[in-house]
């Protein structure tokens, strides 16, 4: 394989920029663009996992570009499994580009998107699911989604798929012996035992499929709507949660007309918050458009934070909202806002919602912690248990769903008393799907597709 290079850090100003070179010629290329200071060994003599401090030199004119630290990794003990050299220089966009240009000038090729991780996969350092876990880790936006991605990266999904595969291979082994050598005195394949194996494997696959929704929830965030009639303090609450002024806050009822979406970390989850217009009946055409958007959003979202002004008695509009969301059967947290002004809201009205009620003053910046705890409580069941496997990847889901489908067909064939040949074929297909999942048997097109979603330098 060729020797490739790329800037691994974002092309923006920062403390450091890292330029990675990987491939057979990595150390040689590094020796031509990097000159260690006297007390350090020559690049060619550097051992794996060692560093040297020196200067990056422009090979075209011998000019020093920047001071840098060179780290050398020797194959196979590197991320890619190949010889690798990493230059850490000052984090200037122009510096990083010049160092990259220097590497290209000595014969390295520009790495494609995800090329380093692809090489790690091709060199057997990672399974395909683990490589995808790395991508998920980079894009994780909350504690739980990071944990789920880390488990995938560490091989949790691979191990589960591998174990299910082993179950199927054992069953296939027995079937093959029996089908191929009918004249031998082999114990007959017990249909009921086979059926048990298939049903156990299906159960495990179904559990994985169920975890996809949780994975998506963690990755994409909980779609949350802050609802309430105008002027109860929705925008103020949203601003409090976001920690800065975002939506327009005024004393005029009905000022928040647009749906504004923002992400916020609460209770370990990412909430995608939208602050909506109230849902009162109105003659204002623009506002009534906002109201229908709000109703639609309420019926589609995963969590409703319903806000009421507790300093006033509930009116028809409040009741309209309570009735509307009670009907939806959604997950709801009620916020009784403006508790600094008094307590006149009749809580018994909320009975039908069966939800957590939090009293606070959004204007005084209260409520973040309590709301976080409520979110955690509502969605805790969907978090990651210690030995669970969670994923949020369409390709992986597709393979698992297909494998389960093949096993369902195998179970049906067995049930219908069809020949064991037919069952064998279905089990074979299921095995292939699982091998595509882990990347053990996967087409070039799928591999390219997976890594094309990575960034350059990863
Ligand atoms: P929205 O229409 O529901 O989005 O309400 P706003 O967030 O625009 O708030 C309406 C008015 O109520 C503004 O003047 C806020 O400053 C005020 N307000 C919001 N929360 C509180 C609170 O907790 N206490 C008091 N006293 N006023 C509040």
Is the model's pLDDT at 103 over the cut of 90? yes
DSSP E strand boundaries for 233-387 = 260-266, 269-275, 303-309, 331-337, 356-359
Q: Is 121 a member of any domain?
A: no
On whether residue 126 sits in a domain, the answer given is no
pLDDT for the residue 182:
62
Residues 222/371, Cβ–Cβ less than 8 Å: no
Whole-angstrom CA distances from 359 to 121, 162, 242, 371, 450 are: 52, 50, 19, 10, 47
Cα–Cα distance for residue pair 207/147, rounded to 1 Å: 18
Q: In this structure, are residues 91 and 110 in contact, taking their beta carbons and an 8 Å threshold?
A: no
**Per-residue pLDDT band at 246 (split at 50, 70, 90):** low
Cβ–ligand 1 contact at 439 (below 6 Å): no
CA of 278 to the centre of ligand 1 (A): 14
Site to substitute for ligand 1 among 227, 236, 258, most atoms within 8 A of C-beta? 236
Domain CATH code at residue 179: 1.20.120.430
User: What is the 159 CA–ligand 1 centroid distance (Å)?
Assistant: 52
Q: Average pLDDT, stretch 66-72?
A: 98
Whole-model pTM: value is 0.70
Does any ligand 1 atom lie closer than 6 A to the CB of residue 185?
Answer: no
Total structural domains within the chain:
3
301: Cβ contacts below 8 Å, ≥ 6 apart:
223, 224, 225, 274, 330
Task: Provide the 8-state DSSP code for 149.
Answer: H
Tokens found for residue 243: 């920690």
Q: How far is the CA of 325 from the centre of ligand 1 (A)?
A: 22
| Positive or negative: CA dihedral 430, 432, 437, 440 | positive
Q: What is the CA radius of gyration of the chain?
A: 29
Beta-carbon-side half-sphere exposure of residue 222 (alpha carbons within 13 Å): 29
- Please choose from 226, 229, 230, 231 the residue to mutate so as to test ligand 1's pocket, defined by most ligand atoms within 8 A of CB: 231
Residues 428, 331 within the same domain: no
Q: Is 282 inside any structural domain?
A: yes
Q: How far is the CA of 309 from the centre of ligand 1 (A)?
A: 9
Same domain, 168 and 290: no
Omega of the bond leading into 159 within 30 degrees of 0 (cis): no
Q: Does some domain include residue 78?
A: yes
Are 375 and 407 in the same domain? no
288 pLDDT band (50/70/90 cuts)? confident
Selected residue with higher pLDDT from 429 and 287: 429
pLDDT band at 248 (very low <50, low <70, confident <90, very high): very low
**Cβ of residue 246 lying under 6 Å from some atom of ligand 1:** no
* Token digits of residue 331: 């997950």
The residue with greater pLDDT, 88 or 153, is 88
- Whether ligand 1 lies within 6 angstroms of the CB of 278 is answered as no
Give the number of other CB atoms < 10 A from CB of residue 9: 17
Q: Is the CB of 340 under 6 A from ligand 1?
A: yes
Asked whether residue 409 carries a pLDDT value surpassing 80, the answer given is yes
The domain boundary, picked from 325, 359, 382, lies at 382
148 and 253 share a domain? Answer: no
Does 304 reside within a domain?
yes
Q: Write down the pLDDT at residue 309.
A: 96
Say if residue 199's pLDDT is above 70. Answer: yes
Tell me, yes or no, whether 72 lies in a domain: yes
CB 111 within 8 A of CB 100: no
Give me ligand 1 centre to Cα 294, in Å: 19
Secondary element (H or E) of residue 55: strand 50-57
> Which residues are CB-contacts of 302 (< 8 A; sequence separation ≥ 6)?
217, 222, 223, 224, 330, 331
Tell me which of 96, 111, 126 is where a domain ends. Answer: 111
Q: How far apart are CA 20 and CA 176, in angstroms?
A: 49
State in Å: Cα 231 to ligand 1 middle. 6
Q: Are residues 198 and 183 in the same domain?
A: yes
Which of 353, 382, 411 terminates a domain? The answer is: 382
On whether both 178 and 72 belong to a single domain, the answer is no
> pLDDT digit string (tens) for 387-405?
567 777 889 999 999 999 9
- 105: domain CATH number is 3.30.1360.120
Burial class (CB in 10 A: 0-12, 13-18, 19+), 421: exposed
Q: Which CATH number covers residue 355?
A: 3.40.50.300
With contact defined as beta carbons under 8 Å apart, do 19 and 96 qualify?
A: yes
Q: Which helix (H) or strand (E) holds 102?
A: helix 93-105
* pLDDT tens string 319-374: 989 988 888 877 899 999 999 999 999 988 888 777 789 999 999 988 888 999 99
Q: Which atom belonging to ligand 1 lies closest to the Cα atom of 341?
A: 26
Mean pLDDT for all residues in the chain: 87
Same domain, 273 and 378: yes
- Please check whether residue 125 lies inside any domain of the structure: no
| Residue whose tokens read 């150390």 | 27
Residue 430 and residue 166: Cα distance in Å, rounded? Answer: 12
From ligand 1's centre to the CA of 288, what distance in Å?
A: 21
- pLDDT value at residue 185: 59
Of the residues 251, 308, 363, 370, which should be mutated to test ligand 1's pocket, given the most ligand atoms within 8 Å of the CB?
363
Token pair belonging to 130: 């683990």
**What's the domain range around 194?**
143-211+390-451
**Residue written as token pair 């109105």:** 282
Assess if residue 343 is contained within a domain.
Answer: yes
Confidence label for 192 from pLDDT (cuts 50, 70 and 90):
confident
């Amino acid at each position: 394989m060729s020797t490739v290079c790329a800037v691994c850090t974002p092309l923006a100003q920062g403390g450091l920029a890292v330029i990675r070179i990987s491939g057979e010629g990595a150390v040689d290329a590094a020796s031509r663009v990097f000159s260690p200071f006297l007390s350090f060994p020559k690049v060619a003599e550097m051992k794996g996992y060692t560093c040297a401090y020196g200067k990056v030199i422009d090979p075209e004119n011998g000019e020093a570009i920047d001071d840098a630290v060179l780290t050398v990794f020797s194959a196979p003990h590197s991320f890619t499994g190949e010889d690798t050299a990493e230059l850490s220089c000052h984090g200037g966009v122009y510096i990083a580009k010049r160092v990259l240009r220097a590497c290209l000038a000595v014969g390295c090729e520009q790495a494609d998107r995800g090329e380093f991780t692809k090489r790690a996969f091709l060199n057997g350092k990672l399974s395909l699911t683990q490589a995808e876990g790395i991508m998920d880790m980079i894009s994780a936006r909350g504690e739980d989604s990071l944990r789920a991605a880390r488990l995938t990266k560490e091989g949790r999904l691979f191990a589960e798929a591998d174990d299910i595969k082993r179950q199927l291979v054992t069953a296939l082994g027995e079937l093959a012996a029996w089908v191929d050598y009918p004249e031998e005195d082999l114990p007959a394949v017990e249909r009921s035992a086979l059926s048990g194996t298939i049903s156990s494997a299906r159960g495990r696959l179904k559990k994985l499929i169920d975890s996809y929704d949780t994975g998506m929830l963690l990755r994409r965030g909980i779609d949350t709507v802050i609802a309430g009639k105008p002027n109860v303090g929705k925008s103020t609450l949203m601003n409090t949660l976001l920690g800065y002024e975002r939506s327009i806050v005024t004393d005029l009822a009905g000022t928040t007309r647009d749906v504004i979406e923002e992400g916020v970390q609460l209770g370990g989850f990412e909430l995608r918050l939208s602050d909506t217009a109230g849902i009162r009946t109105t003659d204002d055409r623009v506002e009534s458009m906002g109201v229908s958007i709000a109703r639609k959003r309420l019926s589609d979202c995963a969590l409703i934070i319903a806000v009421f002004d507790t300093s006033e008695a509930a009116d028809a509009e409040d009741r309209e909202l309570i009735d509307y969301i009670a009907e939806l059967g959604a997950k709801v947290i009620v916020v009784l806002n403006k508790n600094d002004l008094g307590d006149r809201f009749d809580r018994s009205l909320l009975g039908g919602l069966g939800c957590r009620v939090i009293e606070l003053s959004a204007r005084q910046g209260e409520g973040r912690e309590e709301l976080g705890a409520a979110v955690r409580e509502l969605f805790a069941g969907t978090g990651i248990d210690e030995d669970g496997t969670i994923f949020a990847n369409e390709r992986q889901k597709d393979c698992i769903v297909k494998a389960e489908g093949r096993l369902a067909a195998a179970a049906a064939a067995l049930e219908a008393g069809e020949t064991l040949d037919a069952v064998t074929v279905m089990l074979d297909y299921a095995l292939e799907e699982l091998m595509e999942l882990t990347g053990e048997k996967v087409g070039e097109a799928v591999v390219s597709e997976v890594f094309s979603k990575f960034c350059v330098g990863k």
